[in-house]
Amino acid sequence: MTYTIEPIKGIFNSECKNRFISNVKVNNTLVECYVPSSSRIENYLNLSGCEVILTLNKSKKSRTKYALFAVKQQNEYIILNLNKVNTILENLIINKELYPDNNYKVYKEKEKKGYKSDLFLEENGNGILVEAKGVISKNKIVRFPQVISERSILQLKTLEKLLEQGIKAHYYLVALSPLINKIEIDTNSEFHYHLQRCINKGLCLRGIGIVFDGKMVRYSGYISIDY
């Protein structure tokens, strides 16, 4: 077991002007739903009329009762909650599905030499910075990056400097759809340029897949990356 939720089913209606809010029909009632993504979901998928899985927002300060978690397409569930990528990856590491021969202690957003990575792994005084990016698509082959992100470029520039200082770093592309079997880095992008510089200095690039059955998220294996 990697990660489980208490699912609530609905039918997706539309995204609002506020990219963090969407309209979803739950029990025949149209309600606002939080979209946990920094970019609009329509950049990846057309959800109109699709069955979606929601989770209950536990915070009393939340504007919405529900948060969008996954969508059903081609009879498979595609995870949409990019905020859960780090948590899923953390559980995979703790359960020794990614590093079976190590006993890493996992820290979230631990600062190392002024850089706060998604995760930090530590064992016997040795550490590894871990960055993770979720990949959403219904296609078998996905071009990455899907959305231009200045933040990702700045991260790679900083990682390059840390790699030059002897810091170890692993960079994960996490396929949030079981339909994906290959990720292709856009070789004409600025992202590729800086990623390649980091790889040349020791960055470990890994692609992994996960599957969601409507309640439980599980690890499905490595995904091929062309770069």
pLDDT of 38 above 80 = no
Residue 1 pLDDT: 55
- What pTM, to 2 d.p., does this model score? 0.92
- Is 57 or 52 the better-scoring residue by pLDDT? 52
Mean pLDDT, residues 2-11 taken together = 92
CA–CA separation, 159 and 181 (whole Å): 27
The model's confidence at residue 182, banded by pLDDT at 50, 70 and 90, is very high
CA–CA separation, 225 and 97 (whole Å): 19
pLDDT of 104 above 80 = yes
CA–CA separation, 16 and 37 (whole Å): 13
Q: Which CATH architecture has domain 3-79?
A: Beta Barrel (2.40)
Mean pLDDT, residues 92-109 taken together = 93
Residue 140 pLDDT: 96
Ordered by start, the domain boundaries in the chain are 3-79, 82-226
pLDDT of 70 above 80 = yes
Q: What is the mean pLDDT of the chain?
A: 93
Main-chain phi, psi angles of 206, to 5 degrees:
-135, 140
Nearest to 203 by CA among 160, 165, 154: 160
Mean pLDDT, residues 48-77 taken together = 92
Residue 96 pLDDT: 93
Classify domain 82-226 at the CATH topology level. Trna Endonuclease; Chain: A, domain 1 (3.40.1350)
Mean pLDDT, residues 9-34 taken together = 92
